[in-house]
């Protein structure tokens, strides 16, 4: 395995792939994880009979860039959690798929595009801190690459690639592979892991946040592998606010709903940032709050919505839950 770092300056992948490029691992509180995606949150080792499907509508809020602009059509984001077997071990499998189209415009120039991001990750149960075993992501992304271009051709770059991370089962290191579509061979690198922090794959960060035990104002650092620079990095997650009786409309399949229904939910606001000072680019996500000890958990701490800022002041992609089919256990 080539030990040289993968340096892909300027790589940008749409949405949910944007939780990379953060600072190197620093000393932050160790994560405490609870399987809040189950109604019975004591099932720390149980994986069998897991099947959850979440569907989100993706909309666009305009940014402040005046040199050129983008308009997105309504998109969809789907996430599926299920039990699986890998290397003879019973593990979780998390699959996600984003589909969205739009148009870039600069003066009389325009560019239509249709983007996609598909990912899959296998990882261990809560008693093993959701440690990842393997992830793979395939991206077709038409992304902004500058704030002040001379032309639309200079403003936008199209990326087609597959990136994968294979983790040592003994939790010591990870092998990264990056390959542009059409390349003869991938770029590869090996990354040493820090086993004194909770190590998660980039593709499981939004999911794992459902299991964090935080109080308002509390934060935790989650160590991950940046597949674009082949470096270990930390994501700081801060619970900034809790709001009771927030209104969210979606279909709760587990509750027998067949159309969008208004739900009054206590909601936690979580900010994912570049470092513990919360000064870097941030993703803000809204999760159903965990139940009080021994209480019911009808909403499984699901991510209800997310605001994902685009680069170069191009606006924000807004995700909102439209349908939830939770695991029945």
Q: Give the separation between CA 9 and CA 137, rounded to whole angstroms.
A: 18
Q: What's the predicted TM-score (pTM) here?
A: 0.91
DSSP of 68-87: -EEEEPPEEEEEEEEEEEET
How would residue 29 be classed by pLDDT, with cut points 50, 70 and 90? Answer: low
Parse the chain into domains and list their residue ranges: 51-325
Mean pLDDT (whole number) for 99-119:
97
How would residue 277 be classed by pLDDT, with cut points 50, 70 and 90? Answer: very low
Let me know: does 115 contact 84? Beta carbons within 8 Å: no
Report, in this order, helix, strand and coil percent for the chain, each rounded to 5.
5, 50, 40
* Amino acid 189: pLDDT: 96
Q: Give the separation between CA 18 and CA 138, rounded to whole angstroms.
A: 14
* Amino acid 274: pLDDT: 64
SS3 87: coil
**pLDDT(3) > 50:** no
Largest Cα–Cα separation, the chain: 61
pLDDT, tens digit (0-9, with 9 covering 90-100), for 113-146: 999 999 999 999 999 999 999 999 999 999 999 9
Greatest mean pLDDT among 7-11, 27-31, 158-162 lies in 158-162
* Amino acid 195: pLDDT: 67
* Amino acid 30: pLDDT: 66
Q: What sign results for the dihedral spanned by CA atoms 162, 172, 23, 237?
A: positive
Token pair recorded at residue 270: 């979580």
How would residue 229 be classed by pLDDT, with cut points 50, 70 and 90? Answer: confident
pLDDT, tens digit (0-9, with 9 covering 90-100), for 61-87: 999 999 999 999 999 999 999 999 999
Mean pLDDT (whole number) for 44-60:
95
pLDDT, tens digit (0-9, with 9 covering 90-100), for 243-264: 999 999 999 998 999 999 999 9
What residues form DSSP beta bridges with 136? 120, 164
Mean pLDDT, all residues of the chain: 88
How would residue 305 be classed by pLDDT, with cut points 50, 70 and 90? Answer: very high
Query: Residues 6 or more apart from 249 whose CB is under 8 A from it?
Result: 260, 261, 262, 263
- Kindly give the pairing relationship between strand 283-288 and strand 69-72: unpaired
Q: What are the φ/ψ torsions at residue 155 (nearest 5 degrees)?
A: -85, -25
Mean pLDDT (whole number) for 19-36:
60
Nearest to 163 by CA among 185, 191, 135: 135
* Amino acid 46: pLDDT: 84
């Amino acid at each position: 395995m080539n030990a040289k770092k993968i340096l892909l300056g300027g790589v940008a992948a749409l949405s949910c792939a944007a939780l990379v490029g953060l600072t190197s691992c620093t000393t932050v509180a160790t994560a405490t994880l609870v399987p809040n995606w189950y109604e019975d949150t004591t099932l720390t080792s149980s994986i069998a009979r897991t099947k959850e499907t979440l569907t989100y509508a993706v909309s666009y809020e305009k940014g402040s860039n005046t040199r050129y602009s983008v308009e997105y059509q309504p998109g969809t984001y789907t996430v599926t959690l299920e039990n699986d077997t890998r290397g003879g071990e019973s593990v979780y499998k998390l699959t996600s798929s984003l589909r969205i189209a739009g148009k870039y415009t600069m003066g009389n120039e325009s560019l239509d595009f249709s983007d996609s991001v598909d990912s899959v990750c296998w990882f261990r149960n809560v008693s093993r801190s959701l440690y990842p075993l393997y992830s793979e992501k395939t991206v077709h992304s038409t992304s902004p690459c500058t704030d002040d271009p001379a032309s639309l051709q200079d403003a936008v770059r199209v990326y087609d690639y597959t990136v994968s991370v294979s983790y040592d089962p003994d939790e010591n290191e990870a092998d990264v592979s990056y390959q542009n579509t059409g390349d003869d061979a991938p770029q590869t690198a090996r990354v040493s892991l820090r086993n004194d922090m909770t190590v998660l794959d980039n593709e499981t960060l939004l999911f794992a946040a459902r299991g964090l035990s935080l109080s308002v104002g509390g934060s935790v650092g989650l160590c991950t592998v940046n597949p674009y620079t082949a470096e270990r990095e930390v994501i700081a997650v801060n619970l900034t606010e809790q709001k009771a009786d927030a209104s969210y409309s979606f279909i709760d399949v587990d509750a027998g709903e067949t159309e969008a229904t208004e739900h009054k939910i206590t909601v936690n606001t979580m900010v994912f940032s570049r470092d513990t000072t919360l000064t870097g680019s941030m993703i803000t996500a809204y999760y159903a709050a965990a139940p009080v000890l021994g209480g019911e958990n009808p909403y499984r701490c699901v991510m209800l919505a997310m605001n994902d800022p685009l680069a170069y002041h191009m606006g924000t992609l807004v995700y909102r839950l439209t349908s939830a089919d939770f695991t029945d256990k």
